[in-house]
Amino acid sequence: MSKNALCIGINDYPGTQNDLAGCVNDANDWAAELGGRGFAVTKMLDQQATHAAMTAAINGLIQGAASGDTLVITYSGHGTWVPDSSGDEPDGRDEALCPWDIGQAGPLLDDQIRQMFLARPAGVRILLLSDSCHSGSVTRGDDEDLDSAHPRARFMPLESWMPGNELPAASARPAHRVGGLKRSGGDLLLAGCLDTQFSWDTSFKGRPNGAFTYYAIKTLRESKPANYDAWFKAIRAYLPSSKLPQEPQILGSAGARRFKVFT
């Protein structure tokens, strides 16, 4: 049995006005954490994370796995959406991750990710950690580590990357944004927020990070959770907060939620 991870972090989105600050740190932090837990880790940062390279890396990770293996994919960057063309989305939108070259290659859709995940060999576990996209209004949690600078949403508006002649009519666009990957097809998805919210790119103690990533790693180290449900509950003690109105999500079967973390 082997443990392999792919950690993706994209701050730089050339040709847009939507660069971020904490995503590369997120990927490096996840790589260090997972490497310390026995994972063989591949990192993809900024220009390395093209659409083609992300697709090839995810496919390679899955196709090279065998029964009993554990795969972890972390993504920190922008999320976006496109109008659903296949009729399989109740909200009429395909959710998507934003590769470095989104302006040329387009987004990596949830449908594409699902197809890659469905190709996994029997007995392979897949965990996807997505710190991207999405706004909310609840106020609780502990944000004393948070710096005072205003955070930035990890959402890429369609106007920033989609050609003008392909943009949906304003009347067809939803009032809220999306960025979850509910239908990814892995065992578990841990996401930074609801798909009607934003995940925030901010800084803690002078260092840029995604809020979800920061508190996920903090609680993993401090509470040493026995399983994914316990880890998720520990994260929810911090998020949402008055300054970070995002509600992390865990999606997966009851059995998968009881898996030991990163085993």
Active-site annotation holds for 176? no
Structure token digits, residue 257: 């939620």
The four Cα atoms 87, 93, 94, 97 give a dihedral, to 10 degrees, of 180
Report the C-alpha gap between 9 and 115 in whole angstroms: 22
Active-site annotation holds for 78? yes
Q: Which of 7, 98, 133, 193 is catalytic?
A: 133
Cβ atoms of 252 and 233 closer than 8 Å: no
Cβ atoms of 12 and 100 closer than 8 Å: yes
> Cis ω on the peptide bond leading into residue 240 (within 30° of 0)?
yes
Cβ atoms of 49 and 8 closer than 8 Å: yes
Question: Residue 76 CB: number of other CB atoms within 10 A?
Answer: 33
Q: Which of 78, 98, 134, 193 is catalytic?
A: 78
The three-class DSSP label of residue 149 is coil
Structure token digits, residue 166: 């392909």
Structure token digits, residue 180: 């979850």
Cβ atoms of 154 and 130 closer than 8 Å: no
For the chain, give me the number of helices (H) and strands (E)?
A: 7, 12
Please identify every residue annotated as catalytic.
78, 133
